[in-house]
Structure 1
Amino acid sequence: MLLTYPLWAPGSGSGLLGEVWALGWAGGLIGVFAFLGLVALYCRQLQRLLTLVRPHARPVSPSSVWWMFAVPFNFVEDFFIVGNISAGLSADGRLPQRIAQQWTRVGYCWCGFQILSLFPGWPGYLGGAVAVVLWLTHWVRTTRAASMLKVRSTDALTTV
């Protein structure tokens, strides 16, 4: 519904599509493909993290993170992706609880601000800016968590 607001509230701005096409068709396409490429890299990192969770602790398949591309469901699905990975990290137990909780909080926050970014005007712009910062922060935390799990897996193998 929020994606279509320029159609039912034309006085509130041109919306996301207007922003995309502000750079012309070539710039808009480059921007869209660059963004989708970044989302794919992020999904790959989430999949890597979930793959490192012990199989018995995974609530879902690691490939389920790719539902992030299921527009418009992805705005809600992202919460489930973060929640499922969080549940797997908790059930696995190898990642310190404080780090897993911070990972989860940042993940839920970026998901929430992503929804806010769909609103018209300054709330949408502000929500989008905060969402991007939180998304990048979550990506860094995802990479660190995966590295920690990989190291802990290696430690377990070498101490046996």
Structure 2
Amino acid sequence: MPTIIVKVLGTVLVTALISRPLWSPGADPGILREVSALGISGALLTVAVFFGLVALYCRLLQRTLALIGPEDRAASPASVWWMFAIPYNFTEDFYIVRNLTRSLTADGRTAPEAVRRWAVLGYAWCAFQILSLLPGTPGYLGGAIAIPLWVAHWIMTARVRRALATGNTAVSPVYRP
């Protein structure tokens, strides 16, 4: 199936999940209930902190991709900022992980096993992030699993970026064939 169709269909489905409280009054609002329970100030602070963390993560992904030569990049380093294009980002996050995976593979300095682990972890947090949009227990469990996976992916990305930047193959998942 062409990429554009997957992105459009994915965005439509995510939009339906996010907007569920609007078209299904009385339905479990999921995470929106917790955010609104914090009051306006608490909700704004929570959202600001979350988006601040996403911005730091995007910056790390951008810097990692920038360390790979243009001839080996599957996407522009700036493309990672699509993570802020809600609700499109839920689908696009999979493509961001895919593009970085392809770039790391083409670059060849990161061990294939490390690239695979990095990709699996990335795809996993993306999938659980979408599950977190479901109402009730499945949504809570999806979010509870997505966040630690995201943090683990962030840590692994930082290690890969550091190894690419320093060329320190003795303590990193990076190697030179």
TM-score, normalized by length of structure 2?
0.83
Distance 1:34 1:150 in 2: 28
Would the aligned equivalents of 1:42 and 1:139 in 2 still touch at CA under 8 Å?
yes
SS at match of 2:103: helix
Q: CA RMSD in A?
A: 1.6
Letter in 2 for 1:75: F
Would the aligned equivalents of 1:3 and 1:15 in 2 still touch at CA under 8 Å?
no
Match for residue 148 of structure 1? 163
Structure 1 unaligned runs (5+)? Answer: 155-160
Letter in 2 for 1:78: D
Correspondence 1:79-118 to 2 at 5 A: 79-118=94-133
1:43 aligns with 2:58: yes
Match for residue 130 of structure 1? 145
TM-score, normalized by length of structure 1?
0.92
Q: After TM superposition, give the deviation of residue 109 of structure 1 in Å.
A: 0.3
1:57 aligns with 2:55: no
1:77 aligns with 2:92: yes
Distance 1:142 1:67 in 2: 18
Match for residue 157 of structure 1? none
Q: Deviations over 1:43-84 (max 9, x none)?
A: 000001101112210011101000000000000000000000
Distance 2:69 2:167 in 1: 11
Structure 2 unaligned runs (5+)? Answer: 1-15, 170-177
Q: Deviations over 1:110-131 (max 9, x none)?
A: 0000000000000000000100
Letter in 2 for 1:48: R
